[in-house]
């Protein structure tokens, strides 16, 4: 999946940096993730930082942020933005940081895009300090296991194939002149829970955010995500 995201880096930057294109990020995912995060501490890792949109938000909230990504183009985009983020080119399973370097790691919409997800979670646990938190957001595994039959609020939802088996989950975004392919993998919730367990992290909060009223008022079809969760968010702690 790394090669796929490197190929789509410029398209992703256009999508991420154009206000109003990514409604689910702006209306649903980001606001509720920020409510889940602890406040600024010593050092925050923006895991798989992409072009830096989350890191810029975290920095505006007082976090001292370091980003890391396996895509050279993504790292360059993050580091050269007007609100530049300190960004390092590295594989998520071999982070170039010492043990317990961070007191917060944010894995925002990336764990499903990492081929060796369990190893990446283990490596995040290594660089996370005692009593530190890992906060993550992913497409909800129920979401990636199926689809609505039609784009209406009352549309039936059907699991296609198997929820319990991992499988590639690529899909195409095409809106307002921006077209790109998301390269991802569907995994059941247990896969993520087992990765956290193996890394010695304890889940302390889980959220399944719903669209707010103004999002549904703008797009009635968004109401379907009040029945089936679009995202899954969690916060895990490394025991002190």
Strands (DSSP E) along 143-223, which ranges?
Answer: 146-148, 157-159, 167-168, 171-175, 178-182, 185-186, 202-207
By mean pLDDT, which of 7-16, 141-150, 169-178, 188-197 is the weakest?
A: 169-178
Q: What share of the chain is helix, strand, coil (3-state, %, to 5)?
A: 35, 25, 35
Residue 53 in tokens:
């949109």
pLDDT at 223: 92
pLDDT digits (tens, 9 = 90+) for 78-126: 999 999 889 999 999 999 999 999 999 999 999 999 999 999 999 999 9
Segment 46-62 mean pLDDT: 97
Residue 154 in tokens:
């009352």
pLDDT at 40: 96
What are residue 109's phi and psi, to 5 degrees? Answer: 55, 50
Q: Does the structure show a pLDDT above 80 at 2?
A: no
pLDDT at 83: 93
pLDDT digits (tens, 9 = 90+) for 8-41: 999 999 999 999 999 999 999 999 999 999 999 9
Helix (H, G, I), strand (E, B) or coil at 8: coil
Go through the chain and tell me how many residues it has: 240
Average pLDDT, the chain: 95
pLDDT at 37: 98
Terminus-to-terminus CA distance in the chain, angstroms? 34
Residue 43 in tokens:
């050092």
Q: Does the structure show a pLDDT above 90 at 171?
A: no
- Of residues 176 and 189, more confidence is placed in 189
Cα atoms in the 13 Å half-sphere on the side-chain side of 198: 14
CB burial class (10 A; 0-12, 13-18, 19+) of residue 16?
A: middle
Rounded to the nearest 10 degrees, the angle between the axes of helix 72-80 and helix 9-16 is 40
pLDDT digits (tens, 9 = 90+) for 221-230: 889 999 999 9
Torsion on CA atoms 116, 122, 124, 129, rounded to nearest 10:
180
Cβ neighbours of 170 (radius 10 Å) = 11
User: What global pTM score does this model have?
Assistant: 0.95
């Amino acid at each position: 999946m790394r090669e796929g995201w490197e190929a789509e880096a410029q398209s992703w930057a256009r999508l991420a940096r154009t206000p109003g294109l990514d409604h689910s990020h702006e209306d649903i995912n980001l606001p509720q993730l920020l409510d889940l995060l602890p406040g600024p501490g010593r050092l925050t890792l923006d895991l798989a930082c992409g072009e830096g949109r989350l890191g810029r938000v975290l920095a505006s909230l007082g976090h001292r942020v370091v980003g890391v990504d396996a895509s050279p183009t993504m790292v360059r985009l993050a580091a050269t933005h007007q609100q530049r983020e300190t960004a390092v080119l590295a594989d998520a399973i071999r982070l170039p940081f010492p043990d317990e370097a961070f007191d917060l790691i944010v894995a925002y919409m990336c764990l499903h895009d990492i081929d060796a997800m369990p190893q990446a979670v283990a490596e995040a646990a290594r660089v996370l300090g005692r009593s530190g938190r890992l906060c993550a957001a992913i497409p909800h595994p129920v979401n990636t296991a199926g689809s609505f039959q039609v784009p209406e609020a009352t549309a039936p939802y059907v699991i296609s194939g198997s929820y319990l088996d991992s499988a590639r989950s690529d899909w195409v975004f095409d809106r307002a002149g921006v077209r790109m392919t998301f390269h991802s993998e569907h995994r059941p919730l247990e896969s993520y829970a087992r990765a956290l367990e193996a890394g010695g992290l304890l889940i302390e909060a889980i959220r399944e955010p719903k669209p707010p009223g103004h999002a549904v008022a703008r797009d009635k079809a968004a109401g379907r995500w009040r029945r089936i969760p679009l995202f899954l968010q969690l916060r895990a702690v490394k025991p002190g």
